[in-house]
Structure formats: structure tokens, C-alpha cells
A and B are shown apart, each in its own frame.
Chain A
């Protein structure tokens, strides 16, 4: 049976992981390659590396890093963050990334999705959407959640699918960082209306939250950062719990 995926997300700046990540048995805490390998050993199903570097030099560093990650990691990984040029995408895929996620650039230029899907194949294209719910309406934001757009979450997600996105990574800005649980009803609505997988992000605080997002939320994958980085929930413990709750996970 197809397993629900657990995906830790790592923020990278200038080739190093950003947050003070608490892990034992790691020589260099800031090294994304070692951290990624540690997560893979723990049973992470996939990883997301988000480049939050602004500078042009930093971008080059990131491509070099992606090569090292691809050489050492034996599970799939997605890279994202500030990607706007087809050249960037090609560089990251040929460096060995399994998928590239685009966010602001896709909203600014939706045809970028068509072009990526055409040139590389849909399975390489993840469209990330950060959205905020106000008065019952979900609005997509760009530039790391700073600027609202005229795109509504559900219509934008459907458009992205029609244009050739292979997956949707939805982050609820209302839930992100709260640790009060995922935006299950919005995620379920997305998952029902799309025929591509939905990765849910924002709000993970407990193991029950993952159960909820996979059952009532109908998500295909659950993504989180700090709870894994600070070892508040370990992946083996989370998977054992989900398995006991009757959810298909890879153990």
C-alpha cells in the first residue's frame, strides 16, 4: 500500500543549515549533507532543502551543495527557494535534485510551470503555495509570505495542476509556527479536488497532528521543520505511532 510520506524541511543559507538543530552523533551540526543523511537513516521518506540565501554567490554555493547532497543521499529530495530562471532549474536538476519547487516565480509567471513540465517532466515540478485565510478566503502570498497576491488558493492550485505541476506543497500561514495542528479542512479540500499529491505544511506540533492530516486532512505527505530539528518528535517514534493508528507508513 502506498505509504504516507514524512518530510523534514531544512533551511539553508550560504550552504549551511540555518537553525540550531539538535541532533546527536553529528560531527558538524551545520552541514546539510550530514543532517540529510541522518534524517534518511531515521526513516525520513523525502527531504526538502530550502535555500534562503539572497546573494548570487550564495546561489552557486547552493548548486554545489545540491551535488554533494545527491551524491550522499539515497532518498528523494526537493530543492526550492527563490528559483525563478529556467537556467536555475536546469542547474539544480542536473546537479541531482529529484524535484524543484517554485513559489513566487510561478505566481509571477505561471507559464514557467508549463515550461518546466514540458522540458523536464511533471514529476520534477513542485508548486509551493503559501496561503493565509482571512474571512473564509484563502489568499496566496509571495516573497516568503510577505506580499499578498490576487490568487486564491484553490483556483491557483487547480491552475498549477492543469499547467503540469506534479505536486502541490501547501503551507498554511495561519498555522505555520503555531504547533496547533495542520489546516486539515483546507488540505482535504485541496486533496479531493486535485489528482496530484498534496504535501501539507504548517502547524505540526504533535504526533496526533500527523494522524489528523493523513486522515481528515487526506494529505499524501506531511512536512515539518522545527519539531524534527529540535527532536521534539523523532521520526521512528512518529512512524511507529502512525502505524499503530492504522496509517500506512514505511517502517
Chain B
């Protein structure tokens, strides 16, 4: 819903759908997600969307749970995921000392760094974006933006035509709008 609104703000025609033909023929595919990894993977498999997503050749953008499901495995429900990225998804363990209480979920605005080309432009280095998540993809060979909360983790991943952000570009103000625009203009 929110992603659909964000596309409207950019003047882009978009559809929320699970229709295979519509997805295959789209110029761009966005794979957002809110929910639990196991349940959502089951849904994808039941609707034969798992193989469909892996086979897409146009630019694809996973968001939040979308990113996690594009990884190889998630600790959430011990779920085998799509395996587009080799990275693994782990759970944040809350931690506190006298000064700091690292709460879970990681909720709010945090800065992203080590940005690589693609959906990121150089002026976005160290800018703040909006996160809400309890699981994270470890940093790995496909990491194209990093963030630090409890541990360094992948704020964004990329492999060939597959892009994914752990944060919510549709809720990340001007910076997020720029990232979505960059994705549309790839």
C-alpha cells in the first residue's frame, strides 16, 4: 500500500498484484513485505511466485522482509528463502549496558554508508533512512550499503538485476524518494 502510494508520488503507474503475466511483463518489479518469513515463503511457493521471482530479468527491488526473503536462509521460522543472495538472515539480540539500551526491533532513522552505484547516488552517503526490523542480513559479497545497529549489517544488497533494501525507502523522506527514483531510472 505505502509503496504503491510512493509510486503515485513519483508519477509511476503501479499495480499491487500476484498475477504472473502482469509481473513478468512489468518494467520494474517491487517486492515489499511485512510479516513473518516462514508464512510468506509458504505463500510464495503456493502461488508459484518463488520461481517466478528468481527468473525475473527486469530490475527487481525487495524491501524489508522482501530483502530477507531474497537471501538464502532466515532464522525467522528457520526458513529456506529464495536464495538470490547468498547472505543469511539472523535475529537481533537485544543488549544493554549502563549507557545504552539497544532495543529490538531496530526502529527509526539510521544512517547508511559504503554506498555502491546502482540505486544509490554518491550524495546519499551517510544519509538517514527509516528502518523497522528484528532480523537482519549479515554483510557479505552482495552488500551495497551498510548500517550499524548492534552489529554491522546489510542495509542494501545487489546481485545483477536484483536490488533490495532493509530500510523503507517509501517512508524515508527525500532520501528514500531519491532511491526509488534511481531504481525506476536504472
> Which among A1-9, A128-136, A137-145, A224-232 touches the partner chain?
A1-9
Interface residues of B in 1-15 (CB under 8 A from A): 1-2, 5-6, 8-9
| B94 near A195: Cβ-Cβ < 8 Å | yes
| A74 near B109: Cβ-Cβ < 8 Å | no
Task: Give CA–CA (A122, B170) in the complex, Å.
Answer: 20
Q: Which residues of B contact A197 (CB under 8 A)?
A: 103, 107-108
Given contacts A70-B5, A74-B6, A74-B171, contact A3 B110 (CB under 8 A): yes
Selected contact of A71 from candidates B5, B101, B149, B173, CB within 8 Å: B5
Q: How far is the CB of A172 from the nearest CB of chain B, in Å?
A: 20
Task: Give CA–CA (A218, B103) in the complex, Å.
Answer: 12
- B124 proximal to A (CB < 8 A): no
Q: Which residues of B contact A151 (CB under 8 A)?
A: none
Q: How far is the CB of A118 from the nearest CB of chain B, in Å?
A: 11
Given contacts A74-B9, A74-B172, contact A121 B107 (CB under 8 A): no
- B183 proximal to A (CB < 8 A): no
| A1 near B108: Cβ-Cβ < 8 Å | no
Q: Which residues of A contact B2 (CB under 8 A)?
A: 70, 96, 98
Q: Which residues of A contact B170 (CB under 8 A)?
A: 74
Report the nearest A residue to B180, measured CB to CB: A74
| B177 near A220: Cβ-Cβ < 8 Å | no
Q: A183-209 vs B: 1/0 string, CB under 8 Å?
A: 000000001101111000000000000
| B109 near A220: Cβ-Cβ < 8 Å | no
| B101 near A195: Cβ-Cβ < 8 Å | yes
Interface residues of A in 65-83 (CB under 8 A from B): 70-72, 74-76
Q: How many B residues, CB 8 Å from partner?
A: 34
- A221 proximal to B (CB < 8 A): yes
| A5 near B171: Cβ-Cβ < 8 Å | no
Given contacts A70-B1, A74-B177, contact A220 B108 (CB under 8 A): yes
Interface residues of B in 125-165 (CB under 8 A from A): 128, 130, 132, 148-149
**Residue with the highest number of chain A CB atoms closer than 10 Å, among B9, B35, B103, B176:** B103
Counted as pairs of residues, one from A and one from B, with CB atoms less than 8 Å apart, the total is 78
11 contacts between A and B (CB under 8 A): A1-B111, A2-B109, A3-B110, A74-B6, A75-B173, A96-B1, A166-B107, A194-B103, A195-B101, A195-B103, A196-B105
- B22 proximal to A (CB < 8 A): no
- B56 proximal to A (CB < 8 A): no
Task: Give CA–CA (A197, B132) in the complex, Å.
Answer: 11
Given contacts A2-B149, A3-B108, A220-B108, contact A250 B128 (CB under 8 A): yes
| B105 near A218: Cβ-Cβ < 8 Å | no
**Residue with the highest number of chain A CB atoms closer than 10 Å, among B2, B103, B109:** B109
- B106 proximal to A (CB < 8 A): yes
Task: Give CA–CA (A72, B149) in the complex, Å.
Answer: 30
- A237 proximal to B (CB < 8 A): no
- A63 proximal to B (CB < 8 A): no
Q: Which residues of A contact B110 (CB under 8 A)?
A: 1-3
Q: How far is the CB of A153 from the nearest CB of chain B, in Å?
A: 18
Given contacts A40-B173, A74-B172, contact A123 B106 (CB under 8 A): no
Task: Give CA–CA (A121, B34) in the complex, Å.
Answer: 8
Q: A97-108 vs B: 1/0 string, CB under 8 Å?
A: 010000000000
| B107 near A167: Cβ-Cβ < 8 Å | yes
Q: Which residues of A contact B44 (CB under 8 A)?
A: none
Task: Give CA–CA (A192, B170) in the complex, Å.
Answer: 31
Besides the known contacts A1-B110, A96-B1, A195-B101, 9 further A-B residue pairs in the complex with CB atoms under 8 A apart: A1-B148, A3-B110, A3-B111, A5-B109, A74-B170, A123-B107, A194-B103, A196-B103, A220-B107
| A123 near B103: Cβ-Cβ < 8 Å | no
Task: Give CA–CA (A40, B34) in the complex, Å.
Answer: 24
Q: Which residues of A contact B104 (CB under 8 A)?
A: 195
Q: Which residues of A contact B105 (CB under 8 A)?
A: 122-123, 166, 196
Interface residues of B in 166-186 (CB under 8 A from A): 168, 170-174, 176-177
